Amino acid sequence: MKPLLIKGSRIVDPAQGIDDTGSLLVSDGVISWLGKKGDTSPSADSDIIDAAGLVVCPGFIDLHCHLRQPGFEEKETIATGTRAAAKGGFTTVCCMPNTIPPLDSQATVDYVKSTAVEEGVIRVLPIGCVSKGREGEELAEMAELASAGVIGYSDDGNCVVRSRLMRRALEYSWGFGRPIIDHCEDTTLTEGGQINEGIIATRLGLQGIPNAAEESMVARDIALAELTGAWLHVAHVSTAGSVELVRRAKAKGIKVTAEVTPHHLTLTEEKVLGYDTNAKVNPPLRSQADVQALIQGLNDNTIDIIATDHAPHTEEDKLCEFGFAPFGISGLETALGSLMTLMHQGYLSLNTLVAKLTSEPARIIGDEHGQLGTLAVGAPADITIFDPEQEWVVDTRHFASKGKNTPLADSRLKGKVMATVYGGNLVYHDNALKLKTKG
Amino acid sequence: MMSTLRQKEAPALPKNPDATAKTPVWRHSHILDVDDFSPQEIELIFSTTDAMKEVLSRPIKKVPALRGKTIVTLFYEPSTRTRISFELAAKNLSADTVHLSTSASSVTKGESLIDSLSTLQALGANVVVIRHSQSGAPYLAARYLEASIVNAGDGWHAHPTQALLDLYTIREHKGKIKGLKVVIIGDILHSRVAHSNIWSLTTMGAAVTLCAPPTLLPAGLGHEQKHFPKVSLEPDIERAVESADAVMTLRLQRERQQSGLLPSLREYVQLYQLNESRLARAKPDALVLHPGPVNEGIEISPGVAHGPQSVIDQQVANGVAVRMALLYLLVGGKSI
């Protein structure tokens, strides 16, 4: 394969502290050269992407998505989910184990990994279950899962409700260097809940989900992480109180990391007005005060990463009474565009945004799967090229994902992925991208 | 079958000097909630109801206004009173009525609503009156059906026709709504009747006080904000009813005690029952309302329910006239 030269762009690589105009060369699937403005490419014979005016950064890493295969192939498959990811600028996605069967054994993890190699277009790193069958009763075979290559353990979709099981999971995982990723939700407080508790729920006559349902579990998990010395990763933080709990835990030296989704960073509960089932998500879209606290938490590194919690559903799933609709937003393809609105509004720097999607999730994954989340010479050529200024309208008919369930449908976003390179291969490119192939 | 909401022309107004004087425009294709009704629109409903009451006082209570129109009552929750009220209203206007009820147990997935709606669409229903246990179900129906949707109660959300008949009854006695103090007592959290009353009463300029155990009050009330009308909260029933012009008590479902929202019915009765001595704190001519069915001896004492200040039976009677007015305004039609 011919080398690929990506020319004349703004190169942003937080892992190396680079934010500069330059070019880079990809050969044999790795980054082979990184040059400053004016430097001459060492390869005379290469395909060329003219990236003038664009941002070139490491391929995005999503630590939390649902690819739905096996078991829910009508909602998404590894083939469609990875294409959606590539379209969204992601080159690595970590898929949650709430499939049927769940990813609680070497066999199911291997199935996902091999299907991803055969049918997917980017790297898929599975997350294994905490409990057998995701039933919240007995620990899954965590050592076997670790050797199968899971990047962490989660019963996502469900909280690990039993405190004793959560304690044992944290303790048992300690030797594997992988986090327990908890979906923090006190289900005795959320049963029947549909949307954020507050005046919007009151107005719509829907049962609310209080912030405390998340915060009480975050507090419990932090206490157990402190008790066990193990690594807790808090999934999809959605409330100001959770941010504060994580902030204090970190200050105390407790090993805790946390993620936030683009929708919790950019949307509020008002999106549900009119009973839009596509805005029904768990944890629910919260208040403006929560959104502000999440942004602040991201900026002060209380929240380590941004993860999509991409949760595709069919149109039929969502075309029903609000109370009957499943929770979840299809988020891979709108992640960058919605996050860039925060950048354009001055809430988030471009460097922070890129770091939270690249170098930071790479740190959580570790180096077991190669040198991820950087454009360092020798690293796999996983590269995202985006136009920070381009405006576009979200048209779900053009989604690569089977899940068209987004409250952003028909919204105008500013910031668009122009190309995604995975292992040196161009796995997605926008038609407007200037691409010159030789020979 | 997807259709956008249609804007309908205002139908010819009934002969009523008050209404024609202001000539407000009726702009609703559906009656989903009262939260987007203007005071003028509510006045138009009242003046149309006046005309309907005149019809109901005639020896033959039937006018041909909706002849040839089909009105379907689609009920996913059992209801006798509301359904009969709508059916009578439709029949008095000479519409054809069809009733479709689905037992709650068979409705576990949304498909059944969409399926029923497509059937009704094919059958050419002009108005679908829908009652559903899920908040927002009528909005779903309105998005996918050509017919006009009338919300006959959805989940905890809204019961617009009940609220409008409550207001009409108050107005009939007090001559106005504006400036009145109306107290609503009981299970506000689960009460679509309370929600729609709060919206329409405040729209018409009444001051609303809510009185309930805190476990039966929805979140976020009691202060000025954008998405809900301003109400006062007063957990003490005696203070709440002080100098009220109208007091409405709500039915207390026994399951609220079973689901842990109340320690006991006994304690609820002690704290929140509207009885003679408590009612005595309201204005002497204060009205007593209840959306029914009444749990006598629980939320209201039998003496108050059947006492001189009670307008509970008039609420039922006015229900038919208000629903006639709403169907007439929605579907239009010839002169009455």
Please write the tens of the pLDDT for every residue from A247-297. Answer: 999 999 999 999 999 999 999 999 999 999 999 999 999 999 999 999 999
Q: Could you tell me if B32 and B52 lie in one domain?
A: yes
Q: Could you tell me if A62 and A25 lie in one domain?
A: no
Q: Do A275 and B140 touch (CB under 8 A)?
A: yes
Whether pLDDT at B2 is above 80: no
DSSP letter, residue B190: T
Q: Could you tell me if B262 and B178 lie in one domain?
A: yes
Other CB atoms within 10 A of residue B86 CB: 29
Q: Could you tell me if A138 and A210 lie in one domain?
A: yes
Whether pLDDT at B15 is above 60: no
With beta carbons under 8 A apart, name residues in chain A contacting B111.
Answer: 316, 320
With beta carbons under 8 A apart, name residues in chain B contacting A188.
Answer: none
Distance in angstroms (rounded) separating the CA atoms of residues A237 and A303: 8
User: Higher model confidence: residue A433 or residue A402?
Assistant: A402
Count of structural domains, chain B: 2
The dihedral sign for the CA sequence B211, B212, B216, B220: positive
Q: Could you tell me if A213 and A315 lie in one domain?
A: yes
Q: Could you tell me if B150 and B22 lie in one domain?
A: yes
Distance in angstroms (rounded) separating the CA atoms of residues B289 and B191: 14
Tell whether B220 lies on the interface with A, counting CB pairs under 8 A: yes
Identify the CATH number of the domain in which residue B235 sits.
Answer: 3.40.50.1370
Do the domain assignments include residue A52?
Answer: yes
Question: CA-nearest residue of chain B to A196?
Answer: B219
Q: Could you tell me if B235 and B275 lie in one domain?
A: yes
ipTM of the complex: 0.90
Identify the CATH number of the domain in which residue A301 sits.
Answer: 3.20.20.140
Distance in angstroms (rounded) separating the CA atoms of residues A209 and A263: 17
Whether pLDDT at A439 is above 90: no
Distance in angstroms (rounded) separating the CA atoms of residues B108 and B111: 9
pLDDT value, residue A174: 84
Q: Could you tell me if A65 and A198 lie in one domain?
A: yes
Distances (CA, A) of A247 to A166, A217, A226, A296, A334: 21, 15, 14, 11, 28
Q: Could you tell me if B96 and B33 lie in one domain?
A: yes
CB A206 within 8 A of CB A192: no
With beta carbons under 8 A apart, name residues in chain B contacting A202.
Answer: 195, 218-221, 228
For chain A, the first-to-last Cα distance in angstroms comes to 11
Q: Which residue has the tokens 């630590």?
A: A63
Q: Could you tell me if A46 and A83 lie in one domain?
A: no
Domain residues for the domain of B110 are 17-155+318-331
DSSP per residue over B133-166, as a string?
Answer: SSTTHHHHHHHH-SSEEEEEEETTTB-HHHHHHH
pLDDT value, residue B107: 54
pLDDT value, residue B23: 52
Pick left, alpha or beta for residue A41 (phi over 0 → left; psi -120 to 50 → alpha; otherwise beta).
Answer: beta
Q: Could you tell me if A124 and A44 lie in one domain?
A: no
With beta carbons under 8 A apart, name residues in chain A contacting B225.
Answer: 199
Tell whether B134 lies on the interface with A, counting CB pairs under 8 A: yes
Question: CA-nearest residue of chain A to B114?
Answer: A320
Q: Could you tell me if B85 and B147 lie in one domain?
A: yes
Do the domain assignments include residue A370?
Answer: no
Do the domain assignments include residue B10?
Answer: no
Q: Do A202 and B228 touch (CB under 8 A)?
A: yes
Do the domain assignments include residue B246?
Answer: yes
Q: Could you tell me if B169 and B104 lie in one domain?
A: no
Identify the CATH number of the domain in which residue A47 sits.
Answer: 2.30.40.10
Distance in angstroms (rounded) separating the CA atoms of residues B190 and A7: 62
Do the domain assignments include residue A43?
Answer: yes
Distance in angstroms (rounded) separating the CA atoms of residues B35 and B136: 13
Do the domain assignments include residue B141?
Answer: yes
Distances (CA, A) of A316 to A72, A324, A404, A406, B252: 13, 11, 11, 14, 36
SS (H, E, C) chain A: CCCEEEEEEEEEEHHHCEEEEEEEEEECCEEEEEEECCCCCCCCCCEEEECCCCEEEECEEEEEECCCCCCCCCCCCHHHHHHHHHHCCEEEEEECCCCCCCCCCHHHHHHHHHHHHHHCCCEEEECECCEHHHCCCCECCHHHHHHHCCCCECCCCCCCCCHHHHHHHHHHHHHHCCCEEECCCCHHHHCCCCEECCHHHHHHCCCEECHHHHHHHHHHHHHHHHHHCCCEEECCCCCHHHHHHHHHHHHCCCCEEEEECHHHHHCCHHHHCCCCHHHCCCCCCCCHHHHHHHHHHHHCCCCCEECCCECCCCHHHHCCCHHHCCCCECCCCCHHHHHHHHHHCCCCCHHHHHHHHCHHHHHHHCCCCCCCCCCCCCCECCEEEEEEEEEEECCHHHCCCCCCCCCCCCCEEEEEEEEEEECCEEEEECCCCEEECCC
Q: How far is B59 from chain A (nearest CA, A)?
A: 42
Q: Could you tell me if B169 and B301 lie in one domain?
A: yes
Q: Could you tell me if B194 and B68 lie in one domain?
A: no
Q: Could you tell me if A51 and A62 lie in one domain?
A: no
Do the domain assignments include residue B336?
Answer: no
Do the domain assignments include residue A409?
Answer: yes
pLDDT value, residue B8: 36
Q: Could you tell me if A246 and A299 lie in one domain?
A: yes
Do the domain assignments include residue B82?
Answer: yes
Q: Could you tell me if A113 and A180 lie in one domain?
A: yes
Q: Is B221 helix (H, G, I), strand (E, B) or coil?
A: coil
pLDDT digits (tens, 9 = 90+) for B29-64: 999 999 989 999 999 999 999 999 999 999 998 999
Count of structural domains, chain A: 2
Q: Could you tell me if A152 and A206 lie in one domain?
A: yes
Q: Could you tell me if A260 and A192 lie in one domain?
A: yes
CA proximity to A170, closest of A232, A258, A255: A232
Phi and psi, residue B91, nearest 5°: -65, -35
Q: State percent of chain A over pLDDT 90.
A: 94
Beta bridge partners of B128: B72, B149
Do the domain assignments include residue B9?
Answer: no
Q: Could you tell me if B62 and B138 lie in one domain?
A: yes
Do the domain assignments include residue B5?
Answer: no
Q: Could you tell me if B252 and B142 lie in one domain?
A: no
Question: CA-nearest residue of chain A to B230?
Answer: A199
Residue window 274-303, chain B: list those with CB within 8 Å of chain A. Answer: none
Distance in angstroms (rounded) separating the CA atoms of residues B279 and B298: 15
With beta carbons under 8 A apart, name residues in chain B contacting A198.
Answer: 219-220
CA proximity to B238, closest of B194, B184, B287, B282: B282
pLDDT digits (tens, 9 = 90+) for B169-183: 999 999 999 999 999
Q: Could you tell me if A225 and A342 lie in one domain?
A: yes
Do the domain assignments include residue A225?
Answer: yes
Q: Could you tell me if B102 and B184 lie in one domain?
A: no
Distance in angstroms (rounded) separating the CA atoms of residues B190 and B170: 23
Q: Do A320 and B192 touch (CB under 8 A)?
A: no
Do the domain assignments include residue A375?
Answer: no
Pick A322's closest partner by Cβ from B108, B135, B218.
B135
Distance in angstroms (rounded) separating the CA atoms of residues A6 and A431: 16
Residues of A marked active site are found at 309
Mean pLDDT of B87-97: 96
Domain residues for the domain of A357 are 58-365
Beta bridge partners of A94: A125
Q: Which of A203, A209, A269 to mutate to test the interface with B (most CBs of B within 10 A)?
A: A203
Mean pLDDT of B142-148: 90
